[in-house]
Amino acid sequence: MRELRYNPLTGQWVMVSAVRKKRPWRPRNFCPFCPGSEETGYGWEVLLLPNRFPMLSFDAPKPERAGFYKKARALGQCSVIVETPEHDLRDLDELPIHAVARVVELWKNITAELKRNPHVAYVSIFRNKGEEIGVSLTHPHGQLYATPFIPLKVRLKVQNSREYSKRTGECLFCRLLREELKGERAVYENESFAVFLPFFANWPFEVHVYPKRHVQWLTQLVDEELTDLADALRVATGTLNTVLKRDMPYTMMVYQAPFRGNYDFYHLHVEFYPILRENGRIKYAAGMEMGTWDFTYDGIPEENAEKLREACREAIKRIGARGRCFT
């Protein structure tokens, strides 16, 4: 069974797929993403593979009626983005910048392809890292979900940025970027992108990556900006993997505008949600977070931003950078 189920209380679609129960969990002697496997073959640097255990499919069956409740076909695409042939690399900061740029270019190309598909309303490109996050395969990879609906969090961002634009005539994200570049929570910048811990962070070391130019989709970035985005992602992950002197488990999400309609007021951005606190223990999303979706922040964002700046300066000595860490 594969279908979408609508929650009338929140306006969310829930993706239901029985096939997900069959996915492997950290196989010891075999990696399906390494070169030479049945799925990958040889001679590649970055790969887009179909998810063998998808939530969505363009041939999903029409679901049976459910009386009062609303269902829909689970139309869409679930893919795996294998970022490197090398199995034992831990994160993007261990890849050279040209390799990360290839990953970012793949994001751009698949966005362009999916924008032409009439069944796709939104594409979520994301990356999960670490056993604490629940990653089932350790080979460096990301994922994408192309959905026939706009996710709730994206809808909220669209609504708030649209209303702000109507009131002020400017982009809300551009204003946030101006505020953060004043320096108190800014971490890193190059010619095209900035990395910062936001004023309203939910997670102790949460970092956001914003393009300085006002664009809505990856497809609008030119080659130099793609390289600068790769640089910013390398520095962001290197900083997170340095700040607590250990690998940082996190979830990363690329936020683009939806595909149908006019979203001139929206702004491409990337968000990292690292789950460790200052003492290295997990910051759990528990009662308030799960029950209300409102977060508590354990600490002071500005103090954690200073720790990230110190980690940034240490990280770029190891990985190099096209820009500068804030002091």
pLDDT in tens, 188-233: 999 999 999 999 999 999 999 999 999 999 999 999 999 999 999 9
User: How many domains does the structure of the chain reveal?
Assistant: 1
Distance, CA of 154 to chain centre: 12
Which pLDDT belongs to residue 315? Answer: 98
Concatenating the DSSP letter of every residue in 222-263 gives -HHHHHHHHHHHHHHHHHHHHHTSSPPPEEEEEE---SSS--
Which pLDDT belongs to residue 21? Answer: 65
Which pLDDT belongs to residue 303? Answer: 97
Which pLDDT belongs to residue 1? Answer: 84
Which residues, 6+ apart, have CB-to-CB distance to 53 below 8 Å? Answer: 17, 19, 20, 22, 23
Quote the tokens at residue 271: 């968000």
Helix axes 97-115, 223-243, angle to 10 degrees: 120
Quote the tokens at residue 239: 């900083």
DSSP category for residue 308: H
Number of H helices, E strands in the chain: 6, 13
Catalytic positions are: 141
Percent of residues, the chain, with pLDDT higher than 70: 98
Give the domain range for residue 297: 2-325
Q: Which residue has the tokens 């936001």?
A: 198
Cross-sheet strand order for the sheet of 71-73: 12-17, 2-7, 71-73
Domain containing residue 132: CATH number: 3.30.428.10
- Identify the three-state secondary structure at position 12: strand
Q: Which amino acid is at 28?
A: R
Instruction: State the DSSP H helix or E strand holding residue 48, giving kind and residue range, or none if neither.
Output: strand 47-50
H helical segments located in the chain: 97-115, 152-168, 172-180, 223-243, 287-292, 301-319
- CA distances, 258 to each of 41, 104, 211 (Å): 34, 19, 17
Which residues, 6+ apart, have CB-to-CB distance to 151 below 8 Å? Answer: 12, 122, 124
Q: Which residues of the chain have pLDDT under 70?
A: 20-26
Report how far residue 84's alpha carbon sits from residue 204's, in angstroms, rounded to the nearest whole number. 29
Please report, to the nearest 10 degrees, the dihedral formed by the alpha carbons of residues 39, 43, 47, 51 taken in order.
0
User: What's the pTM value of the predicted model, to 2 decimals?
Assistant: 0.96
